[in-house]
Chain A
Amino acid sequence: MALKFPIYMDNHATTPVDPRVLAAMLPFFTEDFGNAASRTHAYGWHAEAAVDAARETLANFIHADSGKEIVFTSGATESDNLAIKGVAEYYGNKGKHIVTTTIEHKAVLDSCKRLEKQGFEVTYVSPGPDGLVDPDDIKKALTEKTILVSVMLANNEVGTIQHITEIGALTRARGVLFHVDAVQGLGKTPFDVRSMNVDLASLTAHKIYGPKGVGALYVRRSKPRVRLVAQLDGGGHERGNRSGTLNVPGIVGFAKAAEILMQEGEAEAVRIRGLRDRLWHGLTKELDQVKLNGHPERRLPGNLNLSFSFVEGEGLMMAIKDVAVSSGSACTSASLEPSYVLRSMGLDEDMAHSSIRFGIGRFNTEEEVDYVRDLVASRVKRLRDMSPLWEMHQDGIDIKSIQWVAH
């Protein structure tokens, strides 16, 4: 089969919609287009029935007790905002302390920053060098005033899968609510709100081959019953938790995407892990001085985050334009700061600048992986030949021993 360029290997950023998902969605644009809140006619009833079926599917997907615990949103950013600000506003009189980690998504971190301006105190726990947060560090951060702990299921950059079960056990024992941003791990690593004692969970469709613009917040309804203050005012949809007309086609697509993963997720993870390992072994066979960022085993099957020492990440991406990937290099962000996730893990800044994230997904093939391996290996070699740092390394000079003048 002919390769299609650029080869998409950025499945942590987003995924293409699975054709089966699209097929399930289409009737809800043109035929069953009703407003799920219309109670007076069949158009509304059909839409509502489709949404309720989707709720049940998603509840099953994460092992929730009931579809009533699913609040549909516009995506994970909104879910994170609603969970953190909604809990803080409702429970703020009980205590004003929140515990999270330094490697959360910006939607979590910036929601916490806003709360800090409103008088809340937030403890940001750092991960170890492998990107793994020690549950003991979460435990130590808890105080009498802690109302919420927020930890992601898996990290979007390095793919490290956190100890959610252990953290859930200790938050439950302390009577503290536990929010999990499950966006990256959903459908790729086991996630069970019941056994993991998760009270709130942010989900999104577009990372699991569903459409963009639809997400959900799981909100536990019993033991404990979690209460929120809605962050959008309006018609009181979603049991008063989130006003706004429901995105029915999106919700139907979200559920279809979940259904596919429930049936095929395990086998898919095995296949994708195989492709990821093929790329990893292929690259390290061709190249020296390649460092794996994140945990070697506790990581998402499709994630490969590598630092190609002595080569700058953006420069490398430019050399591999045929492949769509992303980098932790400063140059890819407006801030000129390299990835805060890699820096939180204690990675040297030059290694953060040299990082590339490959995100392998459902539609990648072995042929694509082999093409990418050959391309990346040859371009890294070429850029190293142009790199003064590589030359110093070859000459046995430790670049850390040089007094660099930062600019």
Chain B
Amino acid sequence: MAYSEKVIEHYENPRNVGVLDKEDPSVGTGLVGAPACGDVMRLQIRVNDAGVIEDAKFKTFGCGSAIASSSLATEWIKGKSIDEAATVKNSQIAEELNLPPVKIHCSVLAEDAIKSAIEDYKKKRAARLSLEKGPE
């Protein structure tokens, strides 16, 4: 399979590979995909009090398109508010990377990873707020 230049570029110089402390209350973690399907993405965000994504990191088990999709996703969501980040669509990722039809699922996975990380962060925040508020 021939890869687009953008996929190759992200694959060879992936942005934001790494780990954030998932116990940190300001960090949201999304783990999507399955080893049996050939791709697993872990995308993490660190969100400040204003609701802006200050940092994003990923690790991906998958083909070149999956790695490129996650790299691009972290690049795009950094500096965005979590509401803005939640609007990133797989079709935008697929278009930016010129993914062929058989690789569309890689971009779908990246979108799921973003959503899942945001959800995890929101869940943690809600739990923290209810804790701070204490019982009525």
Contact = CB atoms under 8 A, between A and B. Distances in A.
Interface residues of A, number: 30
Contact of A407 (B3, B17, B105): B105
B34 A388 contact: no
Given A388-B41, A404-B33, A329 B59 contact: no
A311 B66 CA distance: 12
B38 A338 contact: yes
Contacts of A406: 34, 36-37
Q: What is the size category of the interface that chain B forms with chain A?
A: 20 to 34
A314 interface: yes
A330 B3 CA distance: 16
Contact of A348 (B36, B40, B105): B36
A331 B38 contact: yes
B129 interface: no
Interface string B59-80: 1111110110000000000000
B31 interface: yes
Contacts of A407: 32-34, 37, 105, 108-109, 112
A299 to B, nearest CB: 25
B1 A311 contact: no
B28 interface: no
B131 interface: no
B19 interface: yes
Q: Which of B11, B19, B40 has the most CB of A within 10 A?
A: B40
A331 B109 CA distance: 15
A336 B1 contact: no
A404 B34 contact: yes
B35 interface: yes
Interface of A: 310-312, 314-315, 318-319, 329-332, 334, 336, 338, 348-350, 353, 385-391, 399, 404-407
7 contacts: A311-B61, A314-B1, A332-B1, A386-B17, A388-B41, A405-B34, A407-B108
